[in-house]
Amino acid sequence: MNSAYLWILLPLVVAVILLLIMRWRTVAAMVAATTSLVLAILAAWLPGQEQVVIWQWGVPFSDTLDFFGRQLELSTADRPTLIVLYLAAALWFSAVPLARPTRLFVPLGMAIVALFTAAIAVEPFLFAAVFIEIAVLLSIPMLSPPGRTVNRGVLRYLIFLTLGMPFVLISGFLFTGFEIGPGDPVFVAIAISLLAIGFALLLAVFPFHTWIPMLSQESHPYPTAFIFLFLPIAVLLLGLGFLDSFVWMREDPNTVLLIQVIGAVMIVTAGVWAAVEKNLTRLVGFAVILDIGFSLLAISLAIGSDPLTFRILFIAGLLPRALSLGVLALALSSLIGRIDSYNDEHIRGLVKAYPVISISIIVALFSLAGLPLLAGFPFKLGVIESLSSELPAISFWAILGSFGLIAGTIRMLISMVSDGIESDEKPREPRLLIIFLAIGIGLLFLIGLYPNLILQVIARFPEAFAAFG
């Protein structure tokens, strides 16, 4: 038995099986959700030992798999990330019958999660860029399903993500040999510039952010939000890999400052655009950019003053994001066919017609903005509070960006409660959808009120943060 077989190969095999049974959408979704849930439970439960005892048999268990001269390693340190990844995947697949994205979503989604896991596992870590690119290629058919012309958002997404990969690869190879200390300053400056461009493309940093709102406007909300959740996780973990490997880079105060400035720029630009946005799905795109900005700030703190706390906070912050995006994606997907478009003039009267869907959208957006009592709040508060003591200017801009998203959400809420066009037919929300959304909203409030529930699970794995404690 090997951890790579369990969390990479098995989901890939399941993805192939799902491809064969995708005709039965509900069955495929349940198989994918169950597999993901089992893998998340195994990540939490399976001890990180050389031998795993199953009933009375001792099964040898290894963390490392040799793969064409390189290694795929999923140690106990990676367990918190695995829990978050597969728990989020289970959540996503379980609501597929309600959201009704393309049938390709479940098998391709499963394969993408496996590839992102491979990206976390591969050593040397910079090969992760290649796995991320393969996952991006796999995601195209679910973002642009058969029977439709490919939209500009998908093309731009493909271009930017494919452009980012070689920049990261080349800079990674240039850094080889500089693990302990930097070499020629000019050479290092070039390598760092290439790396910064690569990550700016992969993380949708201004001015390479345009694909996010375009994609969220033009593609189905469910697979789009899936990509918005998993892709930044994989890229941010790749970035952490760089910082972990090159100690001098991590300890250079300019690195911390650069990440903080980029994070603040993302938050402010997203906040400003969100405040004036008139399309609901584009607003979700800006909310995602804002959240990535906060993750960057958390990473900057994780390599700065208090590494242990902020590393935990970074991982813990992923679950509220998954939950918020999941609720948003499901609610927005359920509006397909019920409204003409997501523009503000077409969502007038939505609260009256579809109260649960409307409330879910607003609550999830507020959670992403970091409104108190909701799941996103504790994570964002932690980041802002710490920044305010070190760099009050950055913390001020972060708060301002969040206010921008809150303002944009309030504008959408005003449109939703305004009188809309009356229809003869009484609109109806499916009962199962109401149950799912109600659970989602409930969890958003629960995590907001008791954030320790997540932190305790994540902090159970001290090995994950040992290097930083």
Partner 1 sequence: MIEILSFPVVILVFLTSTILLISWDWRVSLFSLAVQYIGVFILVSISWPVETAAVKLVAGIMSSAVLGLALYNLPKDMTQQNRLVASGFIFRVIAAILASLFAITSGSKLVEWFGEISIEQAYGALILITLGLIQLGLTTRPLRVVIGLLTLLSGFGILHAAVENSILITGLLAVITLGLSIVGAYMLTAPTLEETR
Residues in contact with partner 1 by the rule CB under 8 A: 22, 67-70, 100, 102-104, 127, 130-131, 133-134, 137-138, 140-141, 144-150, 152, 154-155, 158-159, 162-163, 165-166, 169-170, 173-174, 187, 190
* Shortest reach from residue 157's CB to partner 1, in Å: 11
Phi/psi of residue 184, nearest 5 degrees: -60, 125
Task: Write down the least CB distance from residue 172 to partner 1, Å.
Answer: 9
- Tell the smallest beta-carbon distance from residue 332 to partner 1 (Å): 16
Task: Identify which of residues 128 and 274 has a Cβ nearer to partner 1 in the complex.
Answer: 128
Tokens 């970035």 belong to residue? 239
Q: Are 40 and 82 in contact (CB under 8 A)?
A: yes
Q: How far is the CB of 160 from partner 1 (least distance, A)?
A: 10
Nearer to partner 1, 134 or 410 (CB): 134
Q: Which is nearer to partner 1, 184 or 345 (CB)?
A: 184
Phi, psi for 54 (deg, rounded to 5): -110, 110
Burial class (CB in 10 A: 0-12, 13-18, 19+), 237: buried
Least distance between partner 1 and beta carbon 164 (Å): 11
- Residue 221 Cβ vs partner 1, minimum distance, rounded to whole Å: 14
Judged by beta carbon, residue 234 or residue 369, the one nearer partner 1 is: 234
Nearer Cβ to partner 1 (100/278): 100
| Residue nearer to partner 1 on the CB measure, 70 or 460 | 70
19 or 44: CB nearest partner 1? 19
Nearer to partner 1, 242 or 314 (CB): 242
Nearest to 342 by CA among 363, 323, 357, 356: 357
Nearer to partner 1, 163 or 400 (CB): 163
